[in-house]
Structure formats: C-alpha cells, structure tokens
Amino acid sequence: MKRATPAGIGVLLFTSFCFLCSAQTKPEKKDVAPVYGELEKAPAKYRAKVNPFEKDPQAVAAGKILFEEHCAECHGKNALGTNKAPSLRAEEVQVAPPGSLFWILTNGIVRKGMPVWSKLPEPQRWQLIRYIKSLGSADSTANKTDAKP
Amino acid sequence: MKRSRFTQLYGLLFWAILPVAGASALAAQENPYIVAYDHNLEEPGSLEIEYFSTFGTQRGGPDFHAFWSEFEYGATAWWTTEFYLSGQTTSGESTVFTGYRWENRVRPLKNEHWINPVLYVEFEDINGADKIMKEVEGHDVESDYLVPNAVARQERKREVELKLILSTNYKGWNFTENTLAVKNLSNEPWEFGYALGASRPLTLKGAAQKCNFCLQHFIAGVEMYGGLGDRYSFGLHETSHYLAPGLVWNLPSGWTFKIEPTFGLNDNSHQFLLRWGVSYEISGFGQKVSQLFKGKSE
C-alpha cells in the first residue's frame, strides 16, 4: 500500500478542519430564552447556596479579571452578549440566585455550547459570579452593542 | 524520512493557520499531566497549538530526544479532536519523522458528576522508531527503544487506542484515572495500560490584580502510568511504570508551559525522562475559519 505523504496528510487535516469549523455553532442571533431557562433547572440545594465572597471587597476585582480571561470571548467584554453567547446582564441572570449561576458554571450547558467550568476552582467561580452580579441589568436594546459584526 | 518532510508539513500547517492569526488568545487552565487525561475538554471553537518534548536516557544505548506537535480543537462543548505529528532524534543516529495520531474525546454526560467519564478514540499511524511515550502499554520496556532508528523505522504500526477517562474535580483538586486498550491492526493482541493523576492549583482564589506570577496560574500535580500486559498475559509481568511530578504555568495571555521530570519505577523502565511542553490557545479560531469560507457573519 502506498504510504501517505506529509503533504497529503496536511491537505486531509486542513480539509477536515474546514469541515469541522463550518459544522460548529453558526454565529447567528440566537433565541436566548431557552438558554436562560436553564437557570431554572438548578437543583434546590444549589439555589440555596450563598456566595462566600458576597462581602469580600476584592471579589469583584478578581472576578473581573477572571471574566476577561475566560468568559469575555463569548459573552463580550461588557457581558452584554455576542453572537456566540447570551448577555449576562439580562434580567433573568441578574435576578437569578447566585447558586443557580454557580450550578450553570459548574455544569455548563454542554449541548448548547456552554462549556463546563468545573476546572476553575470553586472560589474563582464564586468570584466570577460576584462580578457578574455587580454589573447589574442592561436594557435589552443595548444587548447587541458589544456583539461582533 | 528526511528533515525536509518536516519542513513541508509544518509549512503547510503554518499557512493554514496564518489567515486566522488575528484571533484572540484565551487563558488556558491546563492540568500538569502529559500522559493522563482529565475530563476537561477544549472550549468550543478554540484551537490549542502545542509542542512537547521528551529527553530520555537509556541504559545500554544512546540518549534520545522525542518531540511532537498537537493541534487540539474544541469542535463542540462535548467533543474535542486533536491531531499529532511526532519525531525523534537519537544521539549518534538520526532524526526521523515517526508518524501521526488523530484522537477524539467525547463527554457522554451533559452534567458534571462526582466521577465524569470521557470516551477517547485514537487512530495512530506510526513507525517503530516512535519514542514520544505518550502512553505506555502492554509490555513496553526500555530495551524496546534500543533498536537503531534505521531498523526501527521500517516497522509500521497502525493502531487503534481506546481509553476510558474517569475524572473528578473536588475542592480545587483534580483526580483522574485512565484505562487504555490498544489494538495493533496487524493482527496483534489487545494491549492494556493505565494512567493516574492528581493535581491542584497552588492557590484557589483569584487575585484582585492582573499578574503573570500569581499562584493561581500554577498547578502542581503528579501522574503515574504504565503497562498492564496484553490479552494473553495480563498483569504487571514485564511491564514498565513511571512516576512523574509536574508543574504547569497557565499565563493569562494564552501561553502555557509544562515541565515534568519522570522517574522509572522498575528495572524495565527508563530510569529518567525529562518532559516539557509549551502551548498557545487561540479562541474563536473556528469562527474565524468559518468566516473565511462564508463571508461576514451576521
């Protein structure tokens, strides 16, 4: 059997890769309501959790850095959402119990593109939530100001 | 294979990646393992380009330097696919291209559990001179690696490798256990192996100011791996085993550095290996490539 040449392997790789990229989630405006609905699915024991960093004056600053490092790419640098992920300043997120957000961060919404973030230690997840909550709600019309063209 | 083949292949990959070089970097959160896998997959649309190196000493033979590149892509939040190219230089002999691997990891469960399974399937087309030791299986022993490159590269191995990855994140710690089964498609018996790992960031809280040297960016750990024989002689008889403490530095800029001194645990093992790696994570890579072919996204 003829051996595959490196160039052949490269072409195969590149073609496969283009297919993969085009097959991934399309950057279209999404109906975000079902995504926010995931917050309702948090088990009661999670919903009842209190953010241990609620009174930590450094938590917002630390959460902001973590947000920029891990979340801003999809949710936008102002958390107003992009074509890839919804706004975190929507009313649904801002009024949700911190424990529900913690549950979403821990479990992701894997089938809808939100990765699992359990690899971030628990304190960092809580710091992130503290930051997100500090942003407050934004008018839904501003939702796309941070969206990519 | 000559070095020029490397140049061709890497050149092709370079030109493939160049158009999306403007994509932004994403801070990685890699564990320090080089052999073991945990259940944390690549973020969707992100491409991680990695280079790893293993320097090995051999009793009764020359030292070697094995190296490989990985292109790891998050196809979805539950599926990561990865392509490897590998080679090695044996002191006093030659530098050879040793083949490629294509692996896929899939999370079958949508939520996080106490133990999180990941299914792993890999196809590899490598030659007998391969020394990257990305996994240790069957009756792999140090003396297998003494065969001169000129002879070893004549042997071609097409293998399918299956792994069950069971991993837990608990109070900042990661514990992982991998069980592997490898089948050489040229009618050889199934071979088995294992890898275990534990790791933890040096601190769990995030710092309130930006910094590269904050302890949260360093994760220390240890992994242990080895062979478990094959279908006809399952067990620890004539197998090699290794223990490797490691440290990873995940920079906020997207760069990651790993180092892992590795120690053989029995007479069949290499006495010492030094393994290290560097990687760079590009977020939004898939979307950038997609735009190249579809025009502007809405």
In a domain, A48, yes or no: yes
pTM as predicted = 0.86
% of chain B surpassing 70 pLDDT: 90
In a domain, A1, yes or no: no
In a domain, A13, yes or no: no
Please list every residue in chain A whose beta carbon sits closer than 8 Å to the beta carbon of residue B208. Answer: 58, 61-62, 65
Residue A7: pLDDT above 90? no
Tell me the per-residue pLDDT of B163-203, one tens digit each, with 9 for 90 and over: 999 999 999 999 999 999 999 999 899 999 999 999 999 99
In a domain, A16, yes or no: no
For residue B112, the chain A residue with the least C-alpha distance is: A107
What CATH number is associated with residue A65? 1.10.760.10
Q: Which ipTM score applies to this complex?
A: 0.85
CA gap A28, A16 in Å, rounded: 23
Fold of B3-294: Porin (2.40.160)
Q: Of A28, A62, A73, which has the smallest distance from its Cβ to B207's Cβ?
A: A62
Q: Of B9, B75, B205, which has the smallest distance from its Cβ to A24's Cβ?
A: B75
In a domain, A112, yes or no: yes
Min Cα distance B123 → chain A (Å) is: 14
Residue-range domain boundaries for chain B: 3-294
SS3 per-residue string spanning chain A: CCCCCHHHHHHHHHHHHHHHHHHCCCCCCCCCHHHHHHHHHCCHHHHCCCCCCCCCCCHHHHHHHHHHHHCHHHHCCCCCCCCCCCCCCCHHHHCCCHHHHHHHHHHCEHHHCECCCCCCCHHHHHHHHHHHHHHCCCCHHHHHCCCCC
% of chain A surpassing 90 pLDDT: 60
Q: Of A24, A107, A149, which has the smallest distance from its Cβ to B112's Cβ?
A: A107
In a domain, A18, yes or no: no
Q: How confident is the model at residue A138 (pLDDT cuts 50, 70, 90)?
A: confident
For residue A1, the chain B residue with the least C-alpha distance is: B156
Min Cα distance A18 → chain B (Å) is: 7
Q: What confidence score (pLDDT) does residue B295 get? A: 58
A15 contact B CB<8A: no
Q: Mean pLDDT across chain A, nearest whole number?
A: 81
In a domain, A135, yes or no: yes
Over residues B129-147, mean pLDDT: 94
A129 contact B CB<8A: no
> Per the structure, how many domains does chain A have?
1
